């Protein structure tokens, strides 16, 4: 097992970030920026280029999400609240995710030395969907994260990133907890 100090620190920051997101606390966004930058290095060193590149997109999306949570508005013009996707948006998010997956997989296959380009591409693309949904406070983000985390556990185990495997197992459990917490918030909203 080759666990680095960077992986330990990145994992701890990431857990605190998800706990903040679970509580709808905007401090999770700057923690996401820090964690993403650390994981960009970790994933690049493991030849997971889709995941590494995703971390830089996460930095940009974290800035956007932070702004959304602090200043964003819902369709009614009020401050952004935890909400549910419409059926149309749910299908659109799923279609966009599954359309982009093979395209990113093909790109990774052609321009990198990844040994798992399509397996790297799926959680990469689905994470973008999850991040967008989280930024707009859609409760369905937790279902997306649960799927991403479960798939990522297998991918990171294949790469021998054992601390990250444990982290994503924690993330999977936190995804369930977040889903329940946000559902309660919707009911008491």
Spell out the per-residue pLDDT of the chain, length 189, in tens.
578 899 899 999 999 999 999 999 999 999 999 999 999 999 899 888 878 888 999 999 999 999 999 998 888 888 889 999 999 999 999 999 999 999 999 999 999 888 999 999 999 999 999 999 999 999 999 999 999 999 999 999 998 888 889 989 999 999 999 999 999 999 886
Q: What is the largest CA-CA distance in the chain?
A: 51
Spatial distance between the Cα atoms of 37 and 119, rounded to a whole number of angstroms = 22
What's the pTM?
0.89
Spatial distance between the Cα atoms of 116 and 155, rounded to a whole number of angstroms = 9
Q: What is the pLDDT of residue 181?
A: 95
Q: What is the pLDDT of residue 118?
A: 94
Spatial distance between the Cα atoms of 105 and 121, rounded to a whole number of angstroms = 5
Please state, in angstroms and as integers, the Cα–Cα distance from residue 47 to each residue in 6, 101, 128, 155, following that order.
Answer: 16, 18, 20, 12
Q: What is the pLDDT of residue 178?
A: 95
Q: What is the pLDDT of residue 77?
A: 86
Spatial distance between the Cα atoms of 118 and 101, rounded to a whole number of angstroms = 7
Q: What is the pLDDT of residue 139?
A: 97
Strand, coil or helix: 138: strand
Spatial distance between the Cα atoms of 144 and 58, rounded to a whole number of angstroms = 15
């Amino acid at each position: 097992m080759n666990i680095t100090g960077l992986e330990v620190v990145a994992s701890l920051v990431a857990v605190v970030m998800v706990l903040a997101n679970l509580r709808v606390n905007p401090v999770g966004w700057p923690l996401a920026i820090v964690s993403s930058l650390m994981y960009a290095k970790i994933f690049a060193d493991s030849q997971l280029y889709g995941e590494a590149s995703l971390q830089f997109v996460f930095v940009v999306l974290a800035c956007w999400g932070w702004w959304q949570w602090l200043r964003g508005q819902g369709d009614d013009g009020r401050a952004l609240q935890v909400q549910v996707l419409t059926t149309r948006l749910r299908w659109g998010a799923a279609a966009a995710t599954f359309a982009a997956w093979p395209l990113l997989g093909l790109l990774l296959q052609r321009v990198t030395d990844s040994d798992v380009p399509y397996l790297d591409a799926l959680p990469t693309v689905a994470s973008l969907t999850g991040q967008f949904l989280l930024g707009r406070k859609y409760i369905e983000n937790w279902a997306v994260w649960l799927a991403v985390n479960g798939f990522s556990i297998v991918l990171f185990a294949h790469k021998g990133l054992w601390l990250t495997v444990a982290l994503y197992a924690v993330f999977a459990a936190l995804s369930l907890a977040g889903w329940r917490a946000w559902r309660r918030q919707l009911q008491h909203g």
